[in-house]
Structure 1
Amino acid sequence: MARIICTGLGPGNPDLMAVRSDRVIRAATQIAYFRKKGRKGQARQIVEGMLGEGATELPMEYPVTTEIPFDSPEYIRLLAEFYDDWAERLVAMEGEVVVLCEGDPFFYGSFMHLYTRLLGRVEMEVIPGITGMTGCWNATGTPITWGDDVMTVLMGTLPEHDLIAQMEQSDAIVVMKTGRNLPKVRRALAAVGRLNDAWLVERGTMPNERIVRLAEADEADCPYFAIVLVHGHGRRPEIAQ
């Protein structure tokens, strides 16, 4: 029976990976990771040069990514079957299998969908990782929250009216899954008067990192690995300053 170890890889820079994740990956004989068909995969790129000689690689290729709406019944069915299939494959394997996961596995990580299917069937360990958003807000050189600030993490895939409603209630804002949703996110921030405070961080902590004011960003050229940040200013300014 397999033993599954999911390693959180952090925000993208291998130097920001947990020491335990580094050790586990270098010693692994079986490595599984998610990727889009035809791509190497971000997780695999992060560990380039770390895998032991002869390690068996198990690329788990998504059957669909952005080709059809993420909330459509067809999308949900295809993804559910994909995770069901890979859960069965992992259960049937012998020895230890290391599953790579960008950021932290339990923070919007794809591994969560395998975890719920494998729970109680195999021995599992999850190694935490620094989240992508943490790497991004540190890259701006400005604290994301002060004092009693309330921070809200939103998905760019949400309907625009939901984005606006949540943004109106928040001091600090993080918007993930931007990409093609960036125009909608920009409109929502403009509606609540926070657009001029927003930053777009692309590929945070990676060699091609880019940080730009959202109001000045090109909406047509936003990569998948991009996060929008709006820093809090502190509900008690005398303490924050």
Structure 2
Amino acid sequence: MSSTMGRIYGVGLGPGAQDLLSVRADRLVRDTRHIAYFRKAGRPGQARGIVADMLRNDAVELAMEYPVTTEIPLDDPRYNARMSVFYADCTDRLLAIARAGEDVVVLCEGDPFFYGSFMHLHSRLLGHAPVEVVPGITGMAGAWHATDMPFTWGDDVLTVVMATLPEEELVRRIRDTDALVVMKIGRHLAKLRRAVMAAGRTNAAWLVEHAAMPGQRVTRLAQADQVTPYFSILLIHGQGRRP
């Protein structure tokens, strides 16, 4: 790689509150001219919204718009085909900036290496440009702190699952762990309710919406009627060993 190449940063922004950014993330967002971020077509982008008033006056923005979100099932071959082309195109656009000798920050909600879109760019960028990842507080950490209760004790086993799993698999995972985080709830809330009930843990389950963001809401699953599709996490707190 040329010594004159710019560096590509995957910067974790944390769960949504600007004052939960790390010092390094704050500095990079404020000082770097090229700012890239993912968004759904026609939307401003959640990641950009977190840092909107932090960007330089001369910031050059690169909005990477998903070609598909929920319109095609994840197990449909067309989904992977379209997303693969999309990530390859994003990689090329970032490399063009780096090859011009400029640094670029890719804004990442939560932590870049925790179920984030940046991971798909990182694997494609390695070996072609200098890449640095700045960790961020995960959304699930923001969620369990929103409940104002410790989440894991002593030897508790923590399991993180996606609500997109088949119902019988959800039941098994929920039943067989101490502390639980369920992400990607959205349209799967009814299925998740049934799975939590079948595992006998409804009374221990909490829903957290928009953790660490304006509009944060913490509700027991048994009392929740509907949730915001994207920014919702289900939690079951561990109750393990303690002095």
Task: Tell me what 1:203 maps to.
Answer: 210
How far 1:124 sits from its partner (Å)? 0.6
| Shift in Å, 1:222 | 2.9
CA contact (8 A) 2:175 2:200 kept: no
Matched, 1:222 2:228: yes
| 1:231 corresponds to | 237
**Pick from 11, 17, 25: which aligns with 2:21?**
17
- State whether residues 184 and 230 of structure 2, in contact with CA within 8 Å, keep that contact through their aligned partners in structure 1: yes
Comparing 87-96 with 172-181, greater Cα deviation is found at 87-96
Look up the SS of the partner of 1:49 in the other structure. Answer: helix
Q: Any conservation in 2 of the 1:202–1:223 contact (CA below 8 Å)?
A: no
1:126 equivalenced with 2:130 (yes/no): no
Q: Is the 8 A contact 1:180 1:222 kept in 2?
A: no
Q: Distance in 1 between matches of 2:76 and 2:225?
A: 28
Identity %: 60
**TM norm structure 1:** 0.95
C-alpha separation in 1, matches of 2:67 and 2:151 = 36
Counterpart in the other structure of 1:79: 83
Select the residue among 7, 30, 52 that pairs with 1:3.
Answer: 7
Contact 1:2 1:92 in 2 (8 A): no
TM-score by length of 2: 0.95
Tell me the CA shift for residue 207 of structure 1.
1.2
Q: Quote the residue 2:124 is aligned against.
A: 117
Deviations 1:21-71 (A, max 9, x none): 000000011000000001111100100100000100000000000111122
Contact 2:143 2:211 in 1 (8 A): yes
Q: What letter is aligned with 1:188? A: A
Which of 181, 184, 201 is equivalent to 1:177? Answer: 184
What is the distance in 2 between the residues matched to 1:73 and 1:217? 35
Q: How many residues align structurally? A: 236
Q: Which amino acid in 2 is paired with 1:13?
A: A
Q: Which runs of 4+ in 1 moved over 3 A?
A: none
Give matches, 1:134-213, under 5 Å.
134-213=141-220
Q: Name the SS of the counterpart of 2:168 in structure 1.
A: helix
Gaps of 5+ in 1: none
Partner Cα distance (1:150, 1:67) in 2: 35
Equivalent residue, structure 2, for 1:56? 60
**Cα-Cα RMSD:** 1.0
